[in-house]
């Protein structure tokens, strides 16, 4: 991959990483473990237990998605370090740069996605 594009995407991924981590912290979740200490703003303010449970489930699903995104970002960044960024995990061919630009966390070419 062209080094200029890669360094641009690296900055993008690092920014994404920081914002996902912030997001997880704002939910009271540890980014790198399955643990959620407290759900910010939920465990405190709700008199209605059923409503609190529903809100909690919704937030836990956000937390889960954010953790998945973090894993994908970290994976892309470690591929950059290993020099395998932008290479399809299935066929080993370079993924077109336009695709990497549109979806910097892609690990497969269009054919194998
Ligand atoms: Zn492929």
How far away, in angstroms, is 68 Cα from ligand 1 center?
Answer: 22
How far away, in angstroms, is 107 Cα from ligand 1 center?
Answer: 9
How far away, in angstroms, is 99 Cα from ligand 1 center?
Answer: 12
- Model confidence at 59, pLDDT cuts 50, 70, 90, reads confident
**pLDDT at residue 79 greater than cutoff 80:** yes
Nearby residues of 75 by Cβ (< 8 Å), 6 or more positions away: 105, 107
- Helices 3-26 + 49-82 axis angle, to 10: 160
User: What is residue 54's predicted lDDT score, i.e. its pLDDT?
Assistant: 83
Let me know the angle formed at the C-alpha of 73 by 70 and 76, rounded to the nearest 5 degrees.
150
How far away, in angstroms, is 109 Cα from ligand 1 center?
Answer: 4
pTM above threshold 0.75: yes
**How does pLDDT run across 13-58, given as a tens digit for each residue?**
999 999 999 999 998 888 887 767 666 555 555 567 777 788 888 8
**pLDDT at residue 109 greater than cutoff 80:** yes
How far away, in angstroms, is 19 Cα from ligand 1 center?
Answer: 30
How far away, in angstroms, is 69 Cα from ligand 1 center?
Answer: 22
How far away, in angstroms, is 80 Cα from ligand 1 center?
Answer: 18
Q: Specify the residue for token string 């269009």.
A: 110
């Amino acid at each position: 991959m062209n080094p200029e594009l890669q360094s641009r995407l690296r900055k993008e991924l690092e920014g994404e990483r920081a914002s996902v981590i912030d997001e997880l912290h704002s939910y009271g979740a540890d980014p790198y473990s399955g643990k959620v200490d407290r759900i910010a703003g939920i465990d405190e303010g709700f008199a209605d237990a059923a409503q609190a449970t529903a809100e909690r489930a919704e937030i836990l699903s956000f937390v889960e998605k954010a953790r998945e995104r973090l894993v994908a970002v970290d994976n892309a960044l470690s591929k950059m370090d290993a020099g395998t960024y932008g290479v399809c995990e299935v066929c080993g061919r370079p993924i077109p740069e336009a695709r990497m630009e549109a979806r910097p966390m892609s690990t497969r070419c269009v054919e194998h996605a």
